[in-house]
């Protein structure tokens, strides 16, 4: 019913959108995989990071892609502090408390943003925001293409950190056996906070990739976080490649089901695949045993 | 026993994902201003999905109240004491605020904004015979249910759609009928779907062929597929009916994918007649036409209010001047009733001939709660500004159609 040109373009669009979903999910899966925290504040943190990218552009004149170099470390620090000073101490080691604390944090962050910046929707206008690459049959927006490439770069860095550094080893050790890691001399509270910081930094980078083509308001993160939760379960909780593949898959499925079923029903495709994966492979695509 | 590091199972994880929704349920609040006089409920969705519009509406209402109070308040009754309520962008949120405002003893309620909220609020207020003035809510059922307490100052859906279609046909005819095919892109709630249904029923009678109608949810994160479909079918006209964010994304994606129909004609378009959109994306906004609520450009009071709002660093959106006008309307009725008594105020609203507002409606006249003079106008983005192009007696410029390449 649709010509191959439309189908191919829709798949490309899906991949470009899916990459950003993947980066948001990457942060979430890291936090879940190690800390077992279901981080409800993830969407609010994304909104906050979008505001940071917006103001970095407006007040400092920083291009969002450059701003990522500034905002990601700041959000790493913010995430570290959140875990070390609030989530960790308040939860007293009980995972259920952590869930409630992050839920509370999301309400606080969103309302602080609402209070500070009002509900106004803001966008930035970059000179290259409307530039495209002409593939002959379609135009690929350059900002989204840059975003796509950067997501892979971030995933690679993250993977390298997890596999090649001492911190990464410590994170994996804590994830596998908290008590054992503690006995081996690893500062568990510090590793927890680092992991939360890394997850938050991922969200900050995702925000910098989103802002050139998207908008920001205090609740904008919610639209992404439900999708991210789906990707985390689909890809396997705590799995970096799982989040990446899951994100791309969800992007393509959403795009194609939007095309065939209409945008209103586009989400159905996502959840059908989601249910099918859970039925056939309950640990997710790349998940290890529970 | 499986090795469990976490008390969470996958099932719990998925189930608790549903809690994400709960995070958006903020605590409703009624902020009370100080002072005696007449209590007036100002009810808008200032948090949740519609918070931008709600905040703008609240701004318009409070500006009117400040103005009235600065001039000494309402004759014989004293100053207006506003009770600001948050409808949370949901009908239930609106209803809960009505209960609180009623117990606080307000004389009337102004606001609502979204049709779904207005429907719920009007019903809740009618239980207490509490006069309610709808600021925007366009669903016709708001005033056709025979509720004595409900008054709508602005136009309803039926009138807007009829005017929009007649004006579209007139513009097309005047240009030599260049547009024959149409695609409609609409958000899929009460507002967009209702409008799409009306357009589908009536456009063919005006000589237009509808190629496709594309619904999408709010929020929609990506419009590339929608634009892809538009590109493939190449319609003469694109008619979007969306809220602000989606409208901007759609227009930006169309610009990015170099899709240029002969015209973009919106009905109650979320951004088409928004100064913010024109300022931020002048290229994407160029020549877009809209049939929407608009102030009377010849009224000095409307222009003074525009300056006041812009001096505050805010955009002069329709929520602002419609709410401003509604509060002025209630103040006039209160002065004529000479009392905050609900029955007397309702009677005063019923017989209102108020003309001190900033809309192009003429003197107010309510029949079954609907202001008979209320009508939308057609605007077009010309020279980085928004100009009224129809009706002729308000027009500041002639419509430019088809769009120059």
pLDDT tens-digit readout, A40-92: 999 999 999 999 999 999 999 999 999 999 999 999 999 999 999 999 898 88
Q: List the domain boundaries for chain A.
A: 4-280
d(CA B90, CA A229): 25
SS3 percent helix, strand, coil of chain A, rounded to 5, is 75, 5, 20
Question: CA geometry: angle at B21 spanning B17 and B23, to 5°?
Answer: 105
Per-residue exposure over A245-283, b if at least 16 CB sit within 10 Å of its own CB, e if not:
bbbbbbbbbbbbbbbeebbbebbebbeebbeebbeeeeb
| pLDDT for B3 beyond 70 | no
d(CA A134, CA A131): 10
Query: What pLDDT digit, counting tens, does each position of B85-112 carry?
Result: 999 888 999 999 999 999 999 999 999 9
Residues B262 and B319 in one domain: no
Find the largest Cα–Cα distance for chain A. Answer: 62
| pLDDT for B271 beyond 80 | no
Residues B41 and B127 in one domain: yes
Residues B245 and B311 in one domain: no
| pLDDT for B137 beyond 70 | yes
User: Of the candidates B52, B222, B255, which has its C-beta nearest A130's C-beta?
Assistant: B255
Residues B52 and B132 in one domain: yes
Residues B169 and B277 in one domain: yes
Q: Could you tell me if B83 and B101 are in contact, meaning their C-beta atoms sit under 8 angstroms apart?
A: yes
Mean confidence (pLDDT) of chain B: 88
Cβ separation of A119 and B54 shorter than 8 Å? Answer: yes
Cβ separation of A120 and B52 shorter than 8 Å? Answer: yes
Res B19: pLDDT: 44
Res B15: pLDDT: 52
User: Of the candidates A118, A217, A264, which has its C-beta nearest B216's C-beta?
Assistant: A264
Contacts of residue B148, Cβ cutoff 8 Å, sequence gap at least 6: B126, B129, B346, B369
Q: What range does the domain containing B383 cover?
A: 158-292+377-390
Q: Could you tell me if B101 and B41 are in contact, meaning their C-beta atoms sit under 8 angstroms apart?
A: yes
Does any domain span residue B199? yes
d(CA B284, CA B263): 12
Cβ separation of B283 and A130 shorter than 8 Å? Answer: yes
Res B36: pLDDT: 59
Query: What pLDDT digit, counting tens, does each position of A163-215 carry?
Result: 899 999 999 899 888 899 999 999 999 999 999 999 999 999 999 999 998 88
The CA distance from A56 to the nearest CA of chain B, in Å, is 17
Residues B386 and B253 in one domain: yes
User: Of the candidates A125, A223, A233, which has its C-beta nearest B281's C-beta?
Assistant: A125
Res B23: pLDDT: 37
Neighbours of A32 (CB within 10 A): 25
| pLDDT for B368 beyond 90 | yes
Contacts of residue A151, Cβ cutoff 8 Å, sequence gap at least 6: A19, A20, A22, A23, A206, A209, A244
Stretch B345-358: mean pLDDT, rounded? 95
Residues B169 and B261 in one domain: yes
Res B35: pLDDT: 40
Chain A contact present for B62, CB below 8 A: no
d(CA A218, CA A121): 8
Cβ separation of A40 and B48 shorter than 8 Å? Answer: no
CATH class of the region A4-280: mainly alpha
Q: Give the H/E segment covering residue A288.
A: none
Query: What pLDDT digit, counting tens, does each position of B272-297 carry?
Result: 788 988 988 888 899 999 999 999 99
Q: Which of A281-285, B149-153, B248-252, B400-404 is the least confident region?
A: A281-285
Cβ separation of B244 and A222 shorter than 8 Å? Answer: no
Domain count, chain B: 2
Partner residues linked to B39 by β-bridges: B81
Partner residues linked to B38 by β-bridges: B80
The proportion of chain A whose per-residue pLDDT surpasses 70, expressed as a percent, equals 99
Does any domain span residue B366? yes
Residues B218 and B84 in one domain: no
Cβ separation of B280 and A178 shorter than 8 Å? Answer: no
Residues 167-206 of B with CB under 8 A from A: 188
The CA distance from A205 to the nearest CA of chain B, in Å, is 18
Q: Could you tell me if B364 and B373 are in contact, meaning their C-beta atoms sit under 8 angstroms apart?
A: yes
Residues B136 and B90 in one domain: yes
Does any domain span residue B24? no
Stretch B25-29: mean pLDDT, rounded? 37
Task: Return the closest-CA partner of residue A31 out of A190, A174, A192, A168.
Answer: A192
Q: List the structure tokens of A199.
A: 């997850």
Partner residues linked to A109 by β-bridges: none
Chain A contact present for B26, CB below 8 A: yes
| pLDDT for B192 beyond 70 | yes
Q: How confident is the model at residue B198 (pLDDT cuts 50, 70, 90)?
A: confident
Residues 295-334 of B with CB under 8 A from A: none
**Strand boundaries in chain A, DSSP class E:** 132-134, 139-141
- For residues B64 and A281, the model is more confident at B64
Residue of B nearest to A35 (CA): B6
Res B325: pLDDT: 97
Q: How confident is the model at residue A138 (pLDDT cuts 50, 70, 90)?
A: confident
User: Of the candidates A2, A32, A123, which has its C-beta nearest B280's C-beta?
Assistant: A123
Does any domain span residue B2? no
CATH of residue B303's domain is 3.40.50.2300
**ipTM exceeds 0.90:** no
């Amino acid at each position: 019913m649709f010509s191959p040109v439309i189908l191919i373009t829709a798949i490309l669009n899906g991949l470009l959108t899916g990459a950003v979903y993947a980066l948001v999910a990457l942060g979430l899966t890291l936090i879940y995989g190690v800390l077992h925290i279901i981080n409800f504040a993830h969407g609010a943190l994304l909104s906050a990071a979008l505001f940071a990218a917006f103001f970095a552009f407006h007040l400092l004149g920083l291009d969002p892609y450059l701003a990522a170099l500034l905002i990601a470390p700041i959000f790493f620090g913010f995430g570290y502090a959140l875990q070390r000073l609030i989530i960790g101490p308040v939860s007293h080691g009980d995972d259920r408390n952590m869930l409630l604390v992050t839920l509370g944090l999301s309400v606080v962050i969103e309302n602080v943003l609402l209070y500070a910046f009002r509900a106004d929707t803001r966008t930035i206008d970059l000179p290259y925001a409307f530039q495209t690459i002409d593939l002959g049959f379609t135009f690929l927006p350059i900002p989204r293409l840059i975003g796509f490439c950067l997501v892979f770069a971030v995933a690679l860095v993250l993977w390298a950190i997890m596999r090649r550094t001492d911190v990464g080893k410590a994170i994996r050790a804590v994830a596998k056996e908290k008590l054992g890691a503690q006995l081996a001399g690893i500062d568990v509270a510090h590793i927890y906070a680092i992991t939360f910081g890394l997850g938050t930094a991922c969200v900050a980078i995702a925000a910098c990739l989103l802002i050139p083509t998207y908008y920001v308001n205090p609740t904008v993160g919610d639209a992404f976080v439900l999708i991210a939760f789906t990707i985390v379960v689909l890809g396997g909780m705590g799995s970096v490649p799982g989040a990446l593949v899951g994100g791309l898959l969800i992007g393509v499925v959403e795009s194609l089901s939007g095309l065939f079923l209409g945008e209103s029903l586009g989400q159905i495709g996502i959840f059908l695949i989601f249910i099918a994966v859970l039925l056939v492979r309950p640990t997710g695509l790349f998940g290890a045993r529970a | 026993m499986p090795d469990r590091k976490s008390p969470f199972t996958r099932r719990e994880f998925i189930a608790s994902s549903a809690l994400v929704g709960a995070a958006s349920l903020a605590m409703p609040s009624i902020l009370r201003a100080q002072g005696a006089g007449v209590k007036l409920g100002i009810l808008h969705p200032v948090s949740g999905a519609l918070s931008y519009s709600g905040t703008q509406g609240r701004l318009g209402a409070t500006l009117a109240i400040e103005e009235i109070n600065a001039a000494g308040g309402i004759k014989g009754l004293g100053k207006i004491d506003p009770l600001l309520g948050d409808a949370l962008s949901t009908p239930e949120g609106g209803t809960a605020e009505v209960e609180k405002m009623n117990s606080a003893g307000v004389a009337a309620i102004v606001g609502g904004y979204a049709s779904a909220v207005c429907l719920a609020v009007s019903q809740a207020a009618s239980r207490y015979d509490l006069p309610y003035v709808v600021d925007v809510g366009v669903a016709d059922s708001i005033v056709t249910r025979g509720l004595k307490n409900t008054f709508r100052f602005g136009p309803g859906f039926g009138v807007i759609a009829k005017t929009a279609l007649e004006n579209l046909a007139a513009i097309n005819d005047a240009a030599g009928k260049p547009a024959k095919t149409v695609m409609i892109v609409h958000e899929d709630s009460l507002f967009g779907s209702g409008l799409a249904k009306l357009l589908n029923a009536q456009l063919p009678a005006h000589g237009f062929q509808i190629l496709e109608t594309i619904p999408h949810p709010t929020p929609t994160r990506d419009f590339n597929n929608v634009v892809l479909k538009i590109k493939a079918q190449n319609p003469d006209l694109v008619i979007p009916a969306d809220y602000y964010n989606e409208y901007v994304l759609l227009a930006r994606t169309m610009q990015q994918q170099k899709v240029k129909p002969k015209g973009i004609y919106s009905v109650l378009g979320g951004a088409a007649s928004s100064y913010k959109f024109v300022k931020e994306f002048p290229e994407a906004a160029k020549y877009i036409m809209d049939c929407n609520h608009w102030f009377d450009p010849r009224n000095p009071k409307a222009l003074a209010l525009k300056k006041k709002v812009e001096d505050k660093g805010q955009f002069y959106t329709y929520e602002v001047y419609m709410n401003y006008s509604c509060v002025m309307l209630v103040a006039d009725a209160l002065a004529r009733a000479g009392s905050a008594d609900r029955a007397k105020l309702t009677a005063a609203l019923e017989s209102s001939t108020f003309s001190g507002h900033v809309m192009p409606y003429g003197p107010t006249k309510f029949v079954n709660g609907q202001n008979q003079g209320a009508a939308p106008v057609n605007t077009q983005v010309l020279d980085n500004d928004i100009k009224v192009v129809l009706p002729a007696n308000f027009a500041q410029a002639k419509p430019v159609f088809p769009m120059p390449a």
